Chains A and B, each alone.
Chain A
Amino acid sequence: MKKAFFLVVPLLCLGLVPLLAGGAQEKEKKVTLNAIAVNDPFWVELTKLVGDFEAKTGIAIKMEGVGYDEAYNKITLDLSSHSGNYDIVGVDTPWCPEFSEAGFLADLGPYFQKSKAELKPQDLIGLGAGEWKGVQTALPISPYIAITYYRRDLFAESGLSVPKTWEELYQTGKKLTRDTNGDGTVDQWGFAFGNAKGTCITQFWELQYLSSGGKFWKNAKTGDFTPVLDADLARKVTERFKRLLEIAPKDNVTFDWFDQVNAFSQGRVAMVNWWDVFSGDFENQEKSVIGGKWAASDSLSADGSLGPWIGPWMFAISKDSKHQEEAWKFMKWALSEETQRKLAATGATPPSIFSVLKDPTFQKVSPTAEILVRQLAKGALTWPYVKQSAKIEEEIMGLRLNQYMIGELSLDEAMSVMQQEVLAVMKK
């Protein structure tokens, strides 16, 4: 009897431990979402705001910000392995068709339908970029819209007017490329732009080509996705693209997205034409020496008549996420008017909500909102992306354009190789 007692009691105790522990765990059970995106200004600022989301919902979120290539690699590996490690993924516009076609992203349609009172589709800038074959797989969290930043002080003292076309940019840039301290070497340049191998140089070229009336495909509307990169206009734009090196710092051939912005914020160049996501950085004294000396203007185009190029960063939910409902709550919070206003107030991105962008109270505090509204009224320029877009931008055009810029390929070689390679990818 005694023996049985000494056996049974410890066993009962051992049995109770997991039960008690389980109860405690149940009490503390809290969903933690994992999100990943490129470490651009919008993501950095959004990360600072997520405490607000956690307090409101009781859902924890881990925000991981990485470089552009790393973001693509990590997201692709996670989605293709169906591990579901990431619940929310930041998707660049050209990646969306590839991930959507592969079936990696959750259909946001049903969620979106239920939340129409809070998220009005007609009010979201760049919503179409997150749609693939009629299914909404991503929503724009930061509507990257092209704009021209220029040094107000330099333009005022030289009496030059702000360029509206690419040709005017070149002519004005030549006048602003000069030796300012009289030591015989040029220390101020007119313009800086991205030239780094890969998606970076492609995007800067695309901005110029698209805003010059260029088209990528023969007839995307009828489904004819034959590339027309050997067209006369593409050649002319590419030549002009290289000519801009004459008004750029000599190391511009290595510049990536951030290098060209740094060149502007460090006072080396008078103009940059890129996404409106750096206003906050220009006013940050730790990063910039041009606080209060810059202004913005319409993004450049061939004749000044075309609207801006837009290429939003979007949020999508992994199809393998075990917390899709919670992930949707996060997306709703991130796209809420309150969060968008807070985010846009940092200067890290314009708001994704058009009514906020148009709001006069917001326009009063934003140095670029009025310009963006005026520009968007002309109609936004976008690419008809295909599922091969990420590869075309990164591997084909990103390499051949860079080779042309550094003199490894002639213009003829670069354009014809690009055309052949894109054609081959599309046929495959």
Chain B
Amino acid sequence: MPLRRSNSAGIGNYVFLLPAVIVLLAIVVFPLLFSIVASFFDIKLVNLRFTDFVGFGNYFAAFADRNFLVSLWNTVVFVLVVVSLEFVVGMLLALLASAPIPAVAVLRVSFLLPTVLAPVVVGLMWRYMLFKGHGVLSFLLAVLGLEPETGILGNIVLSKIAIYLTDIWEWSGFMALIFVAGMMGISTELYEAARVDGASRVQIFWRITLPVLRPTILIAVIIRSMDSFCVYDIIYAITRGGPGMSTTSVSYQIYRTAIRNSELGYGSALSWIVTVIVIIMSLVYIRVAYRRQEL
């Protein structure tokens, strides 16, 4: 007699799924739907009423909002700079961690340490290091005669560099970890064959390691680009977007708009604009990478 799954057992399975579904609905689906709807209303945090429908007004307003546009530009530059440098530093660290050197496991763990720290903790730590007069970095720059009179955090250019460095310090290890995992999957036969053919280390890297790692690199770059586009914590902890607008990222600006400024509807519209930008950016990355692979 063939075994048949009874209906009651099926329902029972769904019942077990229910708590997870409820939690997902509450913390993911509901806020998403709420923010979509809110983005079409002039809704304030201090007056949560869906009464003033403005259609796409909030979306149009965003493109005339100089603070939002400046923060968007800052974020694009931030993503380009930090993801590029994290890629380079991460690759160098990965090569080091894949080399046959003693205590390589300790080395790999040490790369990951900054990544496992909470971003706010990283931010505060760097803030203290950058403080004029008290911070280690401030002191070192002063000894070298390179510290500006206003201090690092009072200087428009240096405060940006400080934010970039903090992010690179925190996330290069993450890139390295992904690259190491990818490198471990490359067949040693490929390397041996290349060596037999007389290829140099540099040639092996450019001709074997890098091409084989391309899908891994793509994933790492997409993850870091999406994540760094939403940078918030370290900015909040180190500069609060200042001086002026110099280090204000788009996520920080959205927080200022929606929470500190109480413009929940407008802030929701800004969030959706950023979401669309991040999705487009990821699609472009994937398309470019796969086109190259096809070639």
Answer whether A and B are interacting partners.
yes
**A-side interface residues toward B, CB under 8 Å?**
69, 72-73, 76-77, 79-80, 98-99, 102, 104, 196-198, 250-251, 253-254, 391, 394-395, 399, 402-403, 406-409
B223 at interface (Cβ–Cβ under 8 A)?
no
B31 at interface (Cβ–Cβ under 8 A)?
no
B241 at interface (Cβ–Cβ under 8 A)?
yes
Query: CA A408 – CA B67 in complex, angstroms?
Result: 13
A408 touches B154 (CB 8 A): no
Within the complex, the shortest CB–CB distance from A363 to chain B, in Å, comes to: 37
Contacts of A79 in B (CB 8 A): 46
Of all chain A residues, which has the CB nearest B236?
A69
Contacts of A399 in B (CB 8 A): 67, 244-245
23 contacts between A and B (CB under 8 A): A76-B262, A77-B259, A80-B47, A98-B46, A104-B46, A197-B242, A198-B240, A250-B150, A250-B151, A251-B133, A251-B150, A251-B151, A251-B154, A253-B154, A254-B154, A254-B242, A395-B261, A399-B67, A399-B244, A406-B156, A406-B243, A408-B244, A408-B246
B150 touches A391 (CB 8 A): no
A402 touches B262 (CB 8 A): no
A403 touches B245 (CB 8 A): yes
Given known pairs A98-B46, A99-B46, A406-B244, the reply for A254 and B151 (CB within 8 Å) is yes
B287 at interface (Cβ–Cβ under 8 A)?
no
A394 touches B260 (CB 8 A): yes
B242 contact from A69, A73, A395, A402, Cβ within 8 A? A402
A197 touches B150 (CB 8 A): no
Query: CA A330 – CA B184 in complex, angstroms?
Result: 65
B208 at interface (Cβ–Cβ under 8 A)?
no
B154 touches A197 (CB 8 A): no
A395 contact from B156, B243, B260, Cβ within 8 A? B260
Contacts of B260 in A (CB 8 A): 69, 72-73, 394-395
Within the complex, the shortest CB–CB distance from B250 to chain A, in Å, comes to: 16
0/1 string, B99-137, CB within 8 A of A gives 1 = 000000000000000000000000000000000110000
Contacts of A407 in B (CB 8 A): 156
Contacts of B154 in A (CB 8 A): 250-251, 253-254, 406
Contacts of A72 in B (CB 8 A): 260
B214 at interface (Cβ–Cβ under 8 A)?
no
Contacts of A69 in B (CB 8 A): 260
Tell me if B's interface is mostly helix, strand, loop or mixed.
Answer: loop
Contacts of A80 in B (CB 8 A): 45-48
Contacts of A198 in B (CB 8 A): 240
* Interface residues on chain B, number (Cβ under 8 Å): 25
Of all chain B residues, which has the CB nearest A391?
B261
B149 at interface (Cβ–Cβ under 8 A)?
yes
Contacts of B149 in A (CB 8 A): 250-251
B245 contact from A251, A253, A408, Cβ within 8 A? A408
Query: CA A79 – CA B150 in complex, angstroms?
Result: 39
Additional A-B contacts beyond A198-B240, A399-B244, A402-B242 (9; CB < 8 A): A77-B259, A98-B46, A197-B242, A251-B150, A399-B245, A402-B243, A406-B243, A406-B244, A406-B246
Within the complex, the shortest CB–CB distance from A70 to chain B, in Å, comes to: 10
A391 touches B262 (CB 8 A): yes
Contacts of A409 in B (CB 8 A): 244
A403 touches B153 (CB 8 A): no
Of all chain B residues, which has the CB nearest A255?
B154
Contacts of A99 in B (CB 8 A): 46
B259 touches A254 (CB 8 A): no
Of all chain B residues, which has the CB nearest A402?
B244
Of all chain B residues, which has the CB nearest A256?
B240
Query: CA A77 – CA B258 in complex, angstroms?
Result: 11
Within the complex, the shortest CB–CB distance from A204 to chain B, in Å, comes to: 15
Within the complex, the shortest CB–CB distance from A177 to chain B, in Å, comes to: 13
Within the complex, the shortest CB–CB distance from A194 to chain B, in Å, comes to: 13
Query: CA A254 – CA B45 in complex, angstroms?
Result: 29
Contacts of A251 in B (CB 8 A): 132-133, 149-151, 154
0/1 string, B245-267, CB within 8 A of A gives 1 = 11000000000100111100000
Query: CA A254 – CA B67 in complex, angstroms?
Result: 20
Of all chain A residues, which has the CB nearest B155?
A406
Contacts of B150 in A (CB 8 A): 250-251, 253-254, 406
Within the complex, the shortest CB–CB distance from A103 to chain B, in Å, comes to: 9
Contacts of A253 in B (CB 8 A): 150, 154, 243
Query: CA A364 – CA B132 in complex, angstroms?
Result: 39
A197 contact from B46, B132, B241, Cβ within 8 A? B241
Of all chain A residues, which has the CB nearest B256?
A395
Query: CA A311 – CA B199 in complex, angstroms?
Result: 75
Given known pairs A102-B47, A395-B256, the reply for A254 and B262 (CB within 8 Å) is no
